Amino acid sequence: MEKKIITGLTAMVFICSVFFMTSCAKKQVGAAGGVNPPAGESGEVVVVKEGQKVVVVEGVEAEKAAARQAALISDFENLNIYFEYDRSNLQPDAQQILTDKADFLRANPSYSVLIAGNCDDRGTEEYNLALGERRAMSAKNYLIALGISPDRLKTISYGELRPADPANNPVAWALNRRDTFKLFQ
């Protein structure tokens, strides 16, 4: 009798294990509610739930998507805008860069940006801090005009404190008269 109970319990554990393993398997559900064949190499699993398509990307495709997003963030942060000497008005090339940044921000609403105004080392520290703030505000106001919420835009002025090039010549001065951008969530 004891042997029958152990055999019965073993069979029950086996059946429960098989049920558990098969109920946790990933399935692709098509628009008609039927089960699709397993995903190909992309590892994409598509689930249709209450008329909404939810796509979960796994494996190689997820790594590619993460790499693309990292490249977009790097491009956003590494593309500065530059200013003429003693000016805070935006040149046409700076406006185009800001338009591209606004497109990124609209497509990625979880991101906010810190705009940092910078200056060359000519002028007093106080003057350069004020000029850096005007430059950062020029970029912020332009992004607001393009529809980006002011709540997502922060500004700071570093004045002459964070030069891109510490040399004391016209090329370095031109590189230092800039706004830089840092994304955060």
Q: Residue 180 maps to which CATH number?
A: 3.30.1330.60
Instruction: Say if residue 79 is in the same domain as residue 50.
Output: no
Ranges of the chain with pLDDT below 70: 1-58
pLDDT of residue 92: 98
Same domain assignment for residues 117 and 164? yes
Q: Are residues 87 and 21 in the same domain?
A: no
Q: What CA–CA distance (Å, rounded) separates 129 from 68? A: 36
Please check whether residue 1 is in contact with residue 9, taking contact to mean a CB–CB distance below 8 angstroms.
Answer: no
Tell whether the torsion through CA atoms of 62, 109, 81 and 91 is positive or negative.
Answer: positive
Domain match, 178 and 119 both: yes
pLDDT at 4: 52
Rounded to whole angstroms, the Cα distance separating 85 from 156 reads 19
pLDDT digits (tens, 9 = 90+) for 114-159: 999 999 999 999 999 999 999 999 999 999 999 999 999 999 999 9
Domain identity same for 75 and 32: no
Q: Which of 42, 58, 74 is the last residue of a domain?
A: 58
Same domain assignment for residues 29 and 99: no
pLDDT at 101: 98
Residues 85 and 127 in one domain: yes
Strands (E), 30-80: 35-36, 45-49, 52-56
The one-letter amino acid at 55: V
Quick one: 123 and 150 in the same domain? yes
My answer on whether 78 and 166 are in the same domain is yes
> What's the number of domains the chain is made of?
2
pLDDT at 138: 98
Backbone angles phi, psi at 20, to 5 degrees: -60, -45
What local confidence, expressed as pLDDT, does residue 62 receive?
83
Q: Are residues 15 and 91 in the same domain?
A: no
Q: Are residues 53 and 77 both part of a single domain?
A: no
From the list 114, 116, 112, the residue with the least C-alpha distance to 157 is 116
> Quick one: 81 exposed, middle or buried, by C-beta within 10 A (0-12, 13-18, 19+)?
buried
Domain of residue 145, residue span = 65-184
Residues 50 and 88 in one domain: no
